[in-house]
Amino acid sequence: MSVGVICAITQELAYVRTLLTHPRPRLVAHAQFTTGTLDGRDVVVVGSGMGKVNGAVIATVLADRFGCTTLLFSGVAGGLDPDLNIGDVVIADRVVQHDAGLVDDAQTHVYQAGHVPFINPTDRLGYRVHPELLKRVAARLDGYRMAPLSAAAGGNGRTPRIAYGTVLTGDQYVHSESVRHRLHREFNGRAVEMEGGAIAQVAESFGIPWLVIRGLSDLAGRDSRFDFLRFVEEVAETSAGILRHLLPVI
């Protein structure tokens, strides 16, 4: 009954790895899967690499070969909601693959991944976290306080907050004010990243629960590439701290 813990990049994985006891690495597909215990819980920790296909491969191996009964993602994302700031954490209650859909001359009409409106129509858009799991998560995090971002990284002393909502996933690093505004407006997206929607899709196929935790390393606009590099390590550690705090209710 182990929990699969996925990070995409080394900066997200670094801190999680230090928490593991009795680590035993094993190479499968392109990735190193490390089995071990985290605060007494059996886990398999892995870095997937970026993007939906990498996320899907790793989620599949965790579910099918390692028999993981829950998949958790911990890492960073670009913030979309103007109410949120770098350092805040978004926990997805829904993930949507914002680059899937129907393309006509004018635009892409986002649609559920794996579906085309006139071939296999569906009313669904995205994947929802199991409501009971979300309830336990929210109860466990009630009153949880995070340290402000360090002054060294450019923090201003503000205490970060935890928000719940839609996280958007696409095979694109968003570095644009207009796209960021559109993604927030069209989907009420609170954060954008590159793996969560694929991991949720795989988890749903295997009938196992999943959760995506994302600290905001940037705001997906013009400065996002600079902010990302400045904040990624610290914010990824905040996200991993939340994952650790949640393990008892997962």
**Of 81, 88, 93, 218, which is the active-site residue?**
218
Distances (CA, A) of 52 to 22, 100, 200, 238: 30, 11, 10, 23
Is residue 237 involved in binding ligand ADE (CB under 6 A)? no
Touching ligand ADE, residues 97-156 (CB under 6 A): none
Residue 78 beta carbon to ligand ADE: minimum distance, rounded to whole angstroms: 3
The one-letter amino acid code at 242 reads I
Alpha-carbon span 46 to 112, nearest angstrom: 27
For residue 25, give the amino acid letter. Answer: P
Strand 31-38 relative to strand 101-103, pairing: unpaired
Residues 48, 54: Cα–Cα separation, whole Å? 6
Query: How many residues bind to ligand ADE according to rule CB under 6 A?
Result: 13
Report the nearest approach of ligand ADE to the CB of residue 17 (Å): 20
Nearer to ligand ADE, 111 or 173 (CB): 173
Which of 77, 95, 202, 240 is the binder for ligand ADE (CB under 6 A)?
Answer: 77
217 binds ligand ADE (CB under 6 A): yes
Local structure of residue 42 (DSSP, 8 states): E
CB-side exposure of 104: number of CA atoms within 13 Å? 6
x/- map, 160-199, ligand ADE, by CB under 6 A: -------------xx-----------------xxx-----
* Structural tokens at position 157: 């002393």
12 is catalytic: yes
Token pair, residue 169, equals: 């996933």
Query: Which listed range, 56-64, 88-96, 102-110, 217-225, lies at the site for ligand ADE (CB under 6 A)?
Result: 217-225
Just list the catalytic residues: 12, 218
Binding site for ligand ADE (CB under 6 A): 76-78, 173-174, 192-194, 217-218, 220, 224, 228
